[in-house]
Amino acid sequence: MPFIPHTEADIQAMLAIIGAPDIDTLFDEIPQALRCGELEKIPQGMSEMEVGRLMNVRARQDGQPLCFIGAGAYDHHIPAAVWQLATRGEFYTAYTPYQAEASQGTLQLLYEFQSMMTALTVMDVSNTSLYDGASALAEAVLMAVRANRKSKSKRILLPRSLHPAYRRVVHSIVRNQGIELVELPFDMESGQTDPEGLEQYAGEDFAALVIPQCNFFGVLESVDELTDWAHANRMLAVAVANPVALAVLQPPGEWGEQGADICCGEGQPLGAPLASGGPYFGFLTCTQKLVRQMPGRIIGRTLDLDGKTGFTLTLQAREQHIRRSKATSNICTNQGLMVTAATIHMSLLGAQGLERVAAACHANTGKLVKALSGLPGVSPVFKGAVFHERVLRLPLETKDALRSLAAHNVLGGYDLSADYPELGNAVLVCATEMRSDEDIEQYRSKLERVINARIQTPCKLKPDW
């Protein structure tokens, strides 16, 4: 029996002690009418070898296309040591460190994680993760509504230039609490949040302004001005940041005169593989003043009975297992293992390593944009400076171009036409440090052929080359 150690003799001995004739008797409190029969639609069990064969077929089935999609999930190099350490059984198969004395490994690691995230964002405190970047923003919005006592409105300003999936997730999570999300337009020329669009709300009651750096178009926002504007209008400034970009970009704690109040984002670029979208982790840091409004686990350093340093879960009175319906959030299980990987990842790279990765991504995307912009009808849409993604306009429908590229194993970027029809045939491209010059040339040459084929046979969806 897979994973069950009992011998027939064990079973009989145990039943004899219980005083039951057979195992089925142990279910005699379940009304007979409710019992189910065989789970017929579930296949019979397989051996590890057979499941291995099945999974290998499925893992190889889709090939290994060359990927230039970013849009919230980024293909970075993960040092070999990261997952070899993170999958050690002592990390991999422990749970939430409720028994602090038996969990000092995980607890110290989480304290180190909090220290690294506060250093990266230049904020005072960090929790130990939420599910992902989008749900972390939803929690940040809820936190801002609770924390901003000057605001009565439960309204939030959310830029249209923020990741569309993030906007949807925030909506799904906060809408039942009567929170209203108001969309801020972006400037069609720069790709930044439009200052005029912002000014129309000056003096109005909002709990917070959300400020992505960089925004979904890869464009850098004028974060100092936005942060100061939020504070001048009695709003909290909620930063949404990419942690790799933070290695080279001004940290949210230093935005404007006073810095952002809350910072959140997607932790995936810090050691989590793309892996179809998860597990990743959301990070959340904030000012000391807001720490009691923070959702999720927080680790504190303290002393034991002998005065020795140790680590423990703290401020648990915020949490659901203590406060129940009055908790700051319902979160219980978080993304601990991903945080374990991220902490090891950051230790290996250090600040300088992360800066090199960030700079390499920036340079590679620059090369990609330059190469593609040499093609007829391809040009950058926005003038604003970018970190490691850029929006390009194409001379044919984005959907068709991407489909043709994919047929030749190039994933050419994220199609913006559904979320931003106002941009026309636009695609968001990204080249991390993982893409070589040869990869970029492959993309360029394939796109060139797609465009040429299109010009020659304008009605055909798929060029036959």
Partner 1 sequence: MLIFEKSRAGRRATAQAPLQESDLDGLPQQFRRRQSASMPEVSEMQVVRHYTQLSQKNFSIDTHFYPLGSCTMKYNPRASNSLASLPGFLARHPLAPETHSQGFMGCMYDLQEMLKEATGMFAVSLSPAAGAQGEFAGVAMIRAYHDARGDDARNEILVPDAAHGTNPASAVMCGYKVREIPTGGDGDIDVEALKGVLGPQTAGIMLTNPSTVGVFERRIKEIAGLVHEAGGLLYYDGANLNAILGKVRPGDMGFDVIHMNLHKTFSTPHGGGGPGAGPVGVSERLEPYLPVPMVAQDGADYVWLTEDNRAESIGRLSAFAGNAGVLLRAYIYARLLGRDGMHRVAEFSTLNANYLLKRLTDAGFDAAYPQRRASHEFILTLKRQARELGVNTMDFAKRLLDFGVHAPTTYFPLLVPECLLIEPTETEAQDELDRFVDSMTAILQEAQNDPERVKSAPHDLPVRRLDDVRAARDLDLAWKG
Residue 184 corresponds to which amino acid?
L
Looking at the Cβ atoms of 297 and 393, the one nearer to partner 1 is: 297
Q: How far is the CB of 280 from partner 1 (least distance, A)?
A: 8
Residues within window 24-43 making contact with partner 1, judged by CB under 8 A: 26-31, 33-36, 38-43
Phi and psi of 116, rounded to 5°?
-70, -40
Residues within window 256-285 making contact with partner 1, judged by CB under 8 A: 266, 273-279, 281
Q: Can residue 71 be called a binding residue for partner 1 (CB under 8 A)?
A: yes
**The only residue of 146, 228, 258, 320 in contact with partner 1, by rule CB under 8 A:** 320
**The only residue of 20, 182, 188, 232 in contact with partner 1, by rule CB under 8 A:** 20
Q: How far is the CB of 343 from partner 1 (least distance, A)?
A: 8
Q: Can residue 332 be called a binding residue for partner 1 (CB under 8 A)?
A: yes
**The only residue of 8, 19, 203, 464 in contact with partner 1, by rule CB under 8 A:** 19
Q: Can residue 94 be called a binding residue for partner 1 (CB under 8 A)?
A: yes
Instruction: Provide the 8-state DSSP code for 309.
Output: E
Cα within 13 Å of Cα(272), Cβ side:
28
**Long-range contacts formed by 194-203: CB under 8 A, 24+ apart:** 195/222, 195/225, 198/157, 198/226, 198/229, 201/157, 201/233, 202/229, 202/233, 203/233
Residues within window 188-207 making contact with partner 1, judged by CB under 8 A: none
**The only residue of 8, 149, 308, 458 in contact with partner 1, by rule CB under 8 A:** 308
Candidate segments 12-20, 184-192, 196-204, 453-461, binder of partner 1 by CB under 8 A = 12-20
**The only residue of 302, 436, 445, 457 in contact with partner 1, by rule CB under 8 A:** 302
Task: Count CB neighbours of 336 within 10 A.
Answer: 24
Task: Count CB neighbours of 287 within 10 A.
Answer: 18
Looking at the Cβ atoms of 128 and 148, the one nearer to partner 1 is: 128
CA-based nearest residue to 70, from 250, 197, 282, 244: 244
Q: Can residue 385 be called a binding residue for partner 1 (CB under 8 A)?
A: yes
Separation CA 3–CA 16 (nearest Å): 23
Instruction: Provide the 8-state DSSP code for 101.
Output: G
Residues within window 446-465 making contact with partner 1, judged by CB under 8 A: none
Q: Can residue 8 be called a binding residue for partner 1 (CB under 8 A)?
A: no
Q: How far is the CB of 157 from partner 1 (least distance, A)?
A: 20
**The only residue of 145, 156, 208, 386 in contact with partner 1, by rule CB under 8 A:** 386
Q: Can residue 226 be called a binding residue for partner 1 (CB under 8 A)?
A: no
Residues within window 237-256 making contact with partner 1, judged by CB under 8 A: 246-251, 254
CA-based nearest residue to 323, from 146, 188, 462, 185: 146
Instruction: Provide the 8-state DSSP code for 219.
Output: B
Q: How far is the CB of 200 from partner 1 (least distance, A)?
A: 25
Looking at the Cβ atoms of 104 and 442, the one nearer to partner 1 is: 104
CA separation, residue 286 to residues 108, 335, 463 (Å): 20, 19, 52
Residue 199 corresponds to which amino acid?
E
Q: How far is the CB of 176 from partner 1 (least distance, A)?
A: 4
Residue span 116-155 as binding mask against partner 1, x where in contact by CB under 8 A, dash where not: x-xxx-x-xxx-xx-xxxxx--------------------
131: β partners: none
Candidate segments 54-62, 180-188, 190-198, 419-427, binder of partner 1 by CB under 8 A = 54-62
CA separation, residue 52 to residues 43, 49, 343, 358, 406 (Å): 16, 5, 31, 37, 28
Residues within window 333-352 making contact with partner 1, judged by CB under 8 A: 333-340, 343-344, 346-352
Q: How far is the CB of 449 from partner 1 (least distance, A)?
A: 19
Task: Count CB neighbours of 132 within 10 A.
Answer: 27
**The only residue of 360, 375, 423, 426 in contact with partner 1, by rule CB under 8 A:** 360
Q: Can residue 414 be called a binding residue for partner 1 (CB under 8 A)?
A: yes
Candidate segments 153-161, 257-265, 399-407, 449-457, binder of partner 1 by CB under 8 A = 399-407
- Those residues whose C-beta lies under 8 Å from the C-beta of residue 125, and which sit 6 or more positions away, are 114, 118, 285, 286, 287, 288, 291, 294, 298
Q: Can residue 330 be called a binding residue for partner 1 (CB under 8 A)?
A: yes
CA-based nearest residue to 221, from 247, 241, 248: 241
Candidate segments 103-111, 147-155, 185-193, 195-203, binder of partner 1 by CB under 8 A = 103-111
Checking DSSP bridges between strand 389-393 and strand 426-430, what pairing results, if any?
antiparallel
Q: Can residue 421 be called a binding residue for partner 1 (CB under 8 A)?
A: no
* Burial bucket for residue 326 (CB in 10 Å: 0-12, 13-18, 19+): exposed
Residue with tokens 């303290």: 302
